[in-house]
Chains A and B, each alone.
Chain A
Amino acid sequence: EAGVAQSPRYKIIEKRQSVAFWCNPISGHATLYWYQQILGQGPKLLIQFQNNGVVDDSQLPKDRFSAERLKGVDSTLKIQPAKLEDSAVYLCASSSPRGGLTGNEQFFGPGTRLTVL
């Protein structure tokens, strides 16, 4: 079974530029998550999708971050414009809601390391 795929693996941009990350979840997984992991910290949830609908985006900085999952499979996360403090690893995860939205194991992709100069 193929895992969660993410691209690019690394990205370096200057502040005020825009950037987009892509995630392809495990086949059949309806739930998709984006996390931000700043160096030395644990991952923090940015947004959770169930199919193509948003379940939880309470920790997403909506003034500059946006995410979509138009067809309920792949997802993109965008930052516009980027700030220095956005330098982090962006992790995508997916899970299969066998019994509903809650209590399901999440599987993580390799992440995208973003450096904002």
Chain B
Amino acid sequence: KQEVTQIPAALSVPEGENLVLNCSFTDSAIYNLQWFRQDPGKGLTSLLLIQSSQREQTSGRLNASLDKSSGRSTLYIAASQPGDSATYLCAVLRGSRLTFGEGTQLTVNP
């Protein structure tokens, strides 16, 4: 059974700081890994999707890496802003089932 763990559970940083969110998974036989953002009371917004054959993906200030063999992914956020405050979820796709971690709640203080 696939298990996904995210560390830390919560993170509070001052504006402008660079930060890293971590995700680990137990079964490396995945199709892809996806990072989502969730604002309070809202649905999921896809940020980055990394196929199993890829090592990283970048979008603006976000960079996600994938090391499938070790079962790890990181989401790097550069020059954080208060608008980045949200819960960040990683999820791995194996077959047709998407398994989520419990998320990291990020607060960026002005």
Task: Give residues in A with beta carbon < 8 Å to B.
Answer: 31, 33, 40-45, 48, 55-56, 91, 101-111, 113
| Count of B interface residues, CB-CB < 8 Å | 23
B43 touches A109 (CB 8 A): yes
User: Which one, B11-19, B60-68, B69-77, B92-100, is touching chain A?
Assistant: B92-100
A56-B96, A107-B46, A110-B42 given; name 5 further pairs at CB < 8 Å: A42-B89, A42-B91, A43-B89, A103-B96, A108-B43
Which chain B residue lies CB-closest to A42? B100
A-B pairs, 3 with minimum CB distance: A42-B100, A103-B31, A110-B43
Write out the residue numbers on chain A whose beta carbons fall within 8 Å of the beta carbon of B103.
41-42
Task: Decide yes or no whether B21 CB sits under 8 A from chain A.
Answer: no
Q: Are A105 and B46 in contact, CB atoms less than 8 angstroms apart?
A: yes
Q: Does B44 contact A (CB under 8 A)?
A: yes
- Interchain nearest-CB distance for B57 vs A (Å): 13
CA distance A30 to B34 in the complex (A): 21
Given known pairs A108-B43, A111-B42, the reply for A43 and B100 (CB within 8 Å) is yes
Collect the chain A residues with CB atoms within 8 Å of residue B34's CB: 105
Give min CB distance, B22 to chain A, whole Å.
15
Report the minimal beta-carbon distance from A56 to chain B, rounded to whole angstroms: 7
- The chain A residue sitting closest to B6, CB to CB, is A42
On whether the beta carbons of A31 and B96 are closer than 8 Å, the reply is: yes
What residue in chain A is nearest B30 (Cβ atoms)?
A103
